[in-house]
Structure 1
Amino acid sequence: MSTQPEPSAPKQTLRDRRTVLRGAAVIGLAGAAMPVIAACTDGGDAGGGTTTSAPAGGAQAPGAALATTSEIPVGGGKVFGDAKVVVTQPASGQFKGFSAVCTHQGCIVADVADGTINCACHGSKFKIADGSVANGPAGTPLPAANITVQGGKIIGPAS
């Protein structure tokens, strides 16, 4: 009569290590995503996170100046990869801010052209007016980023 051998300890240890490493990776990704998510929300502004006036009391916005308004073309925009922000100008004088992190697999979007924010990783495109998906594979829009236009400068969200 033959019996099955019991699993050896090294295989069980290897499996446990993989489980621990996978768990650590998930926790690490979640921790890394939280600042991005926090930076890309603005308390519920569904209009793209645009602020076109100075903050209350005339104080400087908490973020750094990303560009001047003249650097953002009407009908286009500019990607600020280091700040993980895209600033668009869908209509003259109307500035919108979005996360530059593609909602498909987390790549930083590459550019803004022909009315869309474009991710070179897998071809997703997002509309410059509201960040909604114009072309997949992304299934969710780019989150709004709270930007401020003050004195001809575009101020990004706090880091």
Structure 2
Amino acid sequence: MPGRPVPSRRTVLRSAALTPVAGLGVAACSPGDDGAAPARPTAPVDLGTDGEVAKGATKLYQDQNVVVSRDDEGALKAFSTVCTHAGCPIKKLEGTKLVCPCHGSEFDARTGEVLHAPATVPLIELPVEVEQGRIVARPGT
């Protein structure tokens, strides 16, 4: 078009090279609190023997992305350990606190509640029960 400046080849190539990097940065840091459900188990997950989680204890099953706790009366609770902020798998349990490696969100492993932002949505609770001496977590409905 006449009268309109044409960008140089260098400007076009520089813009093209920077565009994917900027896009990845935004996508990697965008919160998952937009209502989209993070990944969670889709089939029953056999976590191990019933004796692995004592009364008052919490256990992280890293490979299955599940945390299980047992209260003082013996009742089990299980939560997906996929962070509700950006979908990162949580691999760190400090006592009863889960710490996400991506942005530092913290969750109570016994209740799933958010202890520290940026996450604002609790972890997804999974139905859990003991079947034939094994702890089995099921996907949420």
TM-score category (smaller protein): 0.5 to 0.7
1-structure distance, mates of 2:83, 2:90: 6
Gaps of 5+ in 1: 30-35, 42-61
Counting only pairs closer than 5 Å after superposition, residues 131-150 of structure 1 correspond to structure 2 as: 131-150=112-131
Measure how far apart 1:86 and its partner are: 0.9
Measure how far apart 1:112 and its partner are: 4.9
2-structure distance, mates of 1:20, 1:123: 25
| Greater helix content | 1
Corresponding position of 2:93: 111
Gaps of 5+ in 2: 31-36
2-structure distance, mates of 1:120, 1:39: 16
Moved over 6 A (4+): none
Corresponding position of 1:9: 9
TM-score (norm 2): 0.64
Asked whether the equivalents of residues 99 and 144 of structure 1 are also in contact (C-alpha less than 8 Å), the reply is: yes
Matched residue count:
125
Identity of aligned residues (%): 30
User: RMSD across aligned C-alpha pairs, in angstroms?
Assistant: 3.5
Q: Deviation per CA, 1:96-138: give whole Å up to 9, x if none.
A: 111112334525141151xx33216365432234201133443
Q: Secondary structure at the match of 1:140?
A: coil
TM-score (norm 1): 0.58
Bigger relative CO (Cα 8 Å, ≥ 6 apart) = 1
Q: Secondary structure at the match of 2:11?
A: helix
